[in-house]
Amino acid sequence: MFNNAGIMHPQDDNALNTEEKIWNLTMDINVKGVWFGCKHAILAMRKTGGGSIINTASFVALMGAATPQLAYTASKGAVLAMTRELAMVHARENIRFNSLCPGPIRTPLLMDFLNTEEKKQRRLVHVPQGRFGEAIEQANGALFLASDESSFVTGTDFRVDGGLSAAYVTPEVTFKSKIIPLSTEFIDYLNADGIYLPTDGQPQAAATIEELDSSDEDDATNDITQENIPHFPQVEQAIRQAIDEFGGAVFPKLNWSSPRDAAWITATQSLKCTSPFDVYLLLKSSDFINHDLNHAFDHCQQQEPTNISYNLILRKWHDLQPSLEFRCFVKNKELIGISQRDLTYYDFLLDIQQELETKIYEFFEDHIRDGFPGTEYVFDVYVQQDRQKVWLVDFNPFDTTTDGLLYSWNELLTFDVNNQEPEIRIIASTIEASEIACNAPRFATNMVPKDVIDLSDGRSIAEFAEEFQRAMALSATHLDDTDDSD
């Protein structure tokens, strides 16, 4: 007998706010319903020589819930107490009683209740396995308690909760983050031409007395500029709160990408943001962000979803050592390769190469393999300098749109999980690093106007310089001709 019917009413709250009718309804279904089920099952099982009765309780009956749901929590506590007593009373009749205590399970009921990404993450941060349980995992737990394999198990609180009720402190595997939902208007602002930014935090140019004498033309220009200054008070307030909470600095990303290609435009030459102005500047200047908004599904086989929700993710700023960032490639749920992310030669990495590989592989086994729902993906990690801890940085698609770094995508796509051994790849010399970089700064094309890039047309630097000088001379001649005609 599996007593698995129960409710958690949306109006269930704390002791002061929960109405009596909500309390009574919850108790009638969650407690009285289980009592009736047990009562009639006992009568039937006495005739057949015994049996197993499983009552669904919850991990909240063992721990309590910080989110007020008093009637639900009390009802599940009652189920635990009732089950224990029934187990003792009917043990000699070969009728076993056990409570199944699920953790947060990916059911329609819970997903409707946790209807935003922020609410979901608020729950998952307490689950050591870092994910919601699945219904089949609860079914397997109930199947064990119902079977003869558990014939000597009675009166227990059988926990299927991802370790939640056993955890004192949940292990942190990634950096603290805030998720800010973005409106359609904000996405339109990111897609609009021109870089108009909040005035808060913007450097102010010095002005001479002559410059302060405004003409009508200057007034018109100022009016246009004022009209285009972004005004998203909720987003800006959320950014300020995150910055305050995270010690004064954050780094931003959208659903998939961070604006790494635009770091050169900031005063710090990094993704470190201390004001909404910094965040807006990076988002508006980044081709990576533009790709997220307009081309994220270009290479997908399935049809592009029509209801994409875009979020701004702000993570606590940490001064990471680029030498200790690594990209990991997963195929068929197996780690098939690890690559150094910063393509610079660091001689000390060669001495600790084996240790790094072991640490990253253990991290994957303990936290990623069973916690991430995909079978093929790429994830980035950071290894602390003392190599005592590995941090998850981000996930990326297992696709050619993700930089393979020291791997070619042909290698990754054709990798035979059953017959090939994975390896960690680290740059072994300054010569190798120079060959990979081609002596050019990373994201160099993002620092040059698109018109100039188009004009280069794939030519060498010398050829492009000659053509550029010729184009400039031709432009100057055209201007002189225009002046003469005037």
Catalytic residues: 72
Are 206 and 400 contacting, i.e. CB atoms less than 8 angstroms apart? no
Beta-strand pair 250-253/311-316 = antiparallel
Are 293 and 255 contacting, i.e. CB atoms less than 8 angstroms apart? no
> Measured between alpha carbons, how far is 166 from 59 in angstroms, rounded to an integer?
10
DSSP state of 164: G
The total number of residues written for the chain in this structure: 486
Task: Give residues with Cβ within 8 angstroms of 420, minimum separation 6.
Answer: 336
Going from the C-alpha of 190 to that of each of 249, 294, 447, the distances in angstroms are: 22, 11, 19
Beta-strand pair 177-181/311-316 = antiparallel
Are 158 and 59 contacting, i.e. CB atoms less than 8 angstroms apart? no
DSSP state of 262: G
Which residue is listed with tokens 């339109």? 188
DSSP 114-148: S-SHHHHHHHHTT-TT-S-B-HHHHHHHHHHHHSG
Task: Give residues with Cβ within 8 angstroms of 89, minimum separation 6.
Answer: none
Are 200 and 169 contacting, i.e. CB atoms less than 8 angstroms apart? no
> Which residues of 367-437 form beta strands (DSSP E)?
377-383, 390-397, 423-425
Are 109 and 169 contacting, i.e. CB atoms less than 8 angstroms apart? no
Nearest to 164 by CA among 61, 241, 257: 61
Are 387 and 355 contacting, i.e. CB atoms less than 8 angstroms apart? yes
Are 57 and 12 contacting, i.e. CB atoms less than 8 angstroms apart? no
> Measured between alpha carbons, how far is 28 from 6 in angstroms, rounded to an integer?
9
Q: What angle do CA 443, 445, 451 make, to 5 degrees?
A: 160
Are 127 and 135 contacting, i.e. CB atoms less than 8 angstroms apart? no
